[in-house]
Amino acid sequence: MGDVYDNHNYPPPGSPTSSTQAPVDGEYGGIGNQMPGHMWDSTKAILNIIAYTTNDIATTYDSFSENLVTYKASKSLNAAVYTQITDVEDEVNGLMTYDRAILKPDLNPIKLANKKAIEGYRYYSPVLPTSESLGRS
């Protein structure tokens, strides 16, 4: 019920569809990477589906951004939320360790992937000219 259809998909983002609600992938990702000595409790550390190496994180994240661009272009996705920025307790899917001591991937490729996903497709085409499109401010 409501205006949003929320789907969670792991590890890659999903492309939920609805004819009556705005489709959203409210949680995707889970690029799990254990960093010994930087976990809440290493005996309980959960990897979501696949254990990635540090080198795989940025590449995998970028491929997920490519998926988002495709889903946006087909108008089947209105929003997506990556899980999670930092490791939390027994989940090791963050870009940063639980103790916030280590950034797992190089953040420059992550930044470029985010930019691609955000700017990779325009949602709209203007119906009427605006002051911006006419070169006026």
pLDDT in tens, 76-106: 888 999 988 999 998 898 999 999 999 999 9
CA dihedral 86, 89, 92, 93 (to 10 degrees): -50
- Residue 35 in contact with residue 53, Cβ under 8 Å? no
Q: What is the Cα gyration radius of the chain?
A: 18
The answer to whether the pTM exceeds 0.75 is yes
* Residue 121 pLDDT exceeds 60: no
> Is beta strand 79-83 parallel, antiparallel or unpaired with respect to 22-29?
parallel
